[in-house]
Amino acid sequence: MHASGLRWDDVSMPHGQATVLRARVGQTPIAFLKCHRAAASFTLEFYALRTWGPSLQPDVPTLLAVEPQDKVLLLSPLPGRTEVFDTPPDLQDLPRRQAIARASGAFLARLHALPLPDSDERPLREVLPLRAKSWGAQAQGLIDDRTIAKAVERVSEMADGDWGRVPCHRDYSPRNWLIGPGDPFRFSVIDFGHSKADTWLYDVIRLVDGSHGFGEPEMQAFWEGYGRHPNKAELGLLDGLLWLHALGTLVWA
């Protein structure tokens, strides 16, 4: 539809949790209207962009307007497009992929460094095993019981520690990164509909689970951008989180 040169395009992701409409004049985007289907994802994205967004500008959408009753957000456009990482790179592509991975690590370090208010939430060493048991119960019949039991045991074992929470995106992967034109490029992040306070390692899961084509060179560049590598205990927790993620993926598939 259009009026006075304004046009709207449906740019929703297949199987996404929201309908996304792009408003443009000619070929120039001027805003995005994001209509969430679920109140939970609307609330999470609204909170993230309102609370964390100002400190992450200009690399996340600006919240222009909100209609809570209809679960609608009006967001500013960002330059760039997503780039596919699903296939192994050739030697010519690798430096650019490493540069993007490095930028993704630097952004995540900024997000994770933001302050959180005091909270009376249960500690993660209790929460993570409960998540695993919940996903395991829902995965019954999809995989054998021994695998489910092993996953729950692994998560419980690795979560036994004093793990803190930081602001997390929780769907951090190339499909939610926008790579702007030019050299150096601008790196931006969209879709905060899963975001909340969690262990910082939750934002690494989709980079190391093999689903987005990140290999050792890209991960080394990511850690350079992030500013540090995980220690032995954190690698153990990451392994447990990968089991948890696998259970969740089976249930949602």
Based on the fold, state whether residues 49 and 134 are members of the same structural domain: no
**Which pLDDT does position 4 carry in this prediction?**
65
Q: Are 156 and 59 part of one and the same domain?
A: no
Residue 23 pairs in a beta bridge with 8, 31
**245 plus 140 within the same structural domain:** yes
3-state secondary structure of 120: coil
- Percent of the chain exceeding pLDDT 70 equals 95
Let me know if residue 40 belongs to a domain: yes
Mean pLDDT over the full length of the chain: 91
Strand partners, 196: 168
Residue 120 lies in a domain: yes
33 pLDDT above the threshold of 80: yes
Q: Are residues 111 and 183 in the same domain?
A: yes
- Going by pLDDT thresholds of 50, 70 and 90, the confidence category of residue 92 is low
If asked whether residues 135 and 53 sit together in one domain, one would say no
Q: Write down the pLDDT at residue 88.
A: 64
- Contact, 192 vs 63, CB < 8 A? no
Q: Domain range for residue 182?
A: 94-124+130-252
Same domain, 31 and 116: no
What whole-number distance in Å separates Cα of residue 160 and Cα of residue 15? 35
Flag the least confident range among 141-155, 178-192, 196-210, 217-231. 141-155
Give the domain CATH number at 204.
3.90.1200.10
Q: Give 107's contacts (C-beta < 8 A, 6+ positions apart).
A: 56, 59, 187, 189, 225
Asked whether residue 86 is assigned to any structural domain, the reply reads no
Q: Is residue 82 part of a domain?
A: no
What three-state secondary structure class fits 37? coil
What tokens does 166 get? 């930081």
d(CA 11, CA 19): 8
Q: Is 46 exposed, middle or buried (0-12, 13-18, 19+ CB in 10 A)?
A: buried
Task: Judge whether residue 30 has pLDDT over 90.
Answer: yes
Tell me the per-residue pLDDT of 195-237, one tens digit each, with 9 for 90 and over: 999 999 999 999 998 888 888 999 999 999 999 999 999 999 9
What's the predicted TM-score (pTM) here? 0.92
Q: How many domains does the chain have?
A: 2
Are residue 62 and residue 99 in the same domain, yes or no?
no
